[in-house]
């Protein structure tokens, strides 16, 4: 290997190798390598629990120029396994900044690698699909590093939600006309903020919470949160949702949408390279309006497995025609695959929180 200061390597399980420079922590981390097309919002991306188990590549070439601040966290800490950029900006310029990106990654023991061709990496993933990879700053034989990537555990059938969920229930806010319980499978703070802004008293509960325990809160509505990994790996939550389907209005986002799909009898599958970024076009099939949406998921509900007598398809992805939204025809239950809380990203879909509250008001 090259004897350079801060030398680092990104190796994929298929043997593809990228050499670059380390920033952030030193060491070695494995994960599934994905790419995100957002131009800004790297702090929100890093702290999104949905990225647990993944090494994130930013397609925008310059990352880190506005640093890290104390306000834009989407959870208590960053969750990514590694961070890949074309160029890391050591110069930080923003009035809210309290830390550089490199120092932030180092603080939380997350490896970053810069100086690689992120366009080539992104094209490779698009052509071959998401795959396991490893970032390493250790001096060792490249063949051994590639083998470690091959041997790394994948995301399929793994319950990552329990690893990012809160350990005990808590109130996000004290006031609100409508009590909403949020099952935390990796919830983003801005989902909770949007509910609070819409006059909801938000109670967050761990993913292991049973249907009986949720009903004891006497909620007006239930939110199924986003989260990491394979929805088939969180069967306990799916069973909880299935029990509560006819008990109250339910709104699912991202992983919550997928869990709802499973609870309604559908099946999920893994996308070739997932949807990650802030520029995904989604069509509302009722209004024919197209929203530009924020997305972060590797799995999807299979449209063909849903019972069309009970379920209406409401939203469609215009890039690959995959399912982006659905609602139950008889029950006050709906979900979307994208992120209407939009952090970072456009605010086109924030109206969905209002729709959820309207459902609650018609049932109370």
Active site residues: 254, 339, 341
Judge contact between 185 and 240, C-beta under 8 A.
no
End-to-end CA distance of the chain: 66
Cβ atoms < 10 Å from Cβ of 320: 11
Mark residue 233 as left, alpha or beta (left: phi above 0; alpha: psi -120 to 50; beta: remaining): alpha
CA 103 – CA 147 distance, rounded (Å): 30
SS3 84: strand
- 106-126 burial, b if ≥16 CB within 10 A, otherwise e? beeebbbbbbbebeebbebbe
Which residues does 252 contact at the CB level (< 8 Å), separation at least 6?
223, 224, 258, 259, 260, 334, 335, 336
The residues pairing with 30 across neighbouring beta strands, listed in sequence order, are 134
């Amino acid at each position: 290997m090259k004897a350079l200061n801060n030398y680092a390597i990104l190796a994929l399980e298929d043997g593809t190798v990228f050499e670059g420079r380390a920033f952030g922590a030193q060491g070695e981390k494995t994960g599934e390598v994905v790419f995100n097309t957002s131009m800004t919002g790297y702090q929100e991306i890093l702290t999104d629990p949905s990225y647990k188990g993944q090494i994130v590549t930013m397609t925008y070439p310059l990352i880190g120029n506005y640093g890290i601040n104390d306000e834009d966290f989407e959870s208590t800490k960053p969750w990514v396994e590694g961070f890949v950029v074309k160029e890391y900006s050591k110069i930080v310029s923003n009035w809210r900044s309290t830390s550089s990106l490199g120092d932030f990654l180092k603080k939380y023991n997350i490896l970053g690698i810069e100086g690689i061709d992120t366009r080539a990496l992104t094209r490779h993933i698009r052509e071959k699909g998401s795959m396991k990879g490893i970032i390493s700053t250790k001096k060792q034989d490249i063949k051994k590093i590639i083998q470690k990537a091959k041997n790394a555990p994948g995301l399929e059938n793994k319950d990552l939600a329990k690893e990012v969920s809160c350990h005990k229930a808590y109130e996000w806010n004290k006031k609100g006309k409508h009590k909403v319980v949020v099952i935390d499978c990796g919830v983003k703070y801005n989902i909770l903020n949007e509910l609070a802004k819409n006059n909801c008293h938000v109670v967050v509960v761990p993913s292991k919470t049973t249907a009986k325990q949720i009903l004891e809160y006497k909620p007006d509505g239930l939110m199924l949160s986003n989260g990491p990994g394979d929805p088939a790996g969180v069967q306990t939550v799916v069973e909880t949702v299935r029990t509560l389907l006819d008990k109250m209005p339910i709104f699912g986002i991202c992983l919550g949408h997928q869990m709802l799909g499973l609870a309604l009898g559908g099946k999920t599958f893994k996308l070739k390279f997932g949807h990650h970024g802030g520029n995904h076009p989604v069509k509302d099939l009722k209004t024919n309006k197209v929203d530009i949406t924020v997305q972060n998921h590797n799995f999807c509900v299979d449209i063909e497995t849903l019972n069309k007598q009970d379920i209406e398809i409401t939203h469609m992805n215009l890039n690959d025609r995959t399912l982006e939204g659905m609602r139950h025809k008889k029950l006050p239950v709906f979900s979307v695959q994208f992120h209407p809380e939009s952090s970072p990203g456009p605010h086109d879909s924030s109206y969905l929180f209002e729709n959820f509250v309207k459902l609650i008001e018609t049932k109370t």
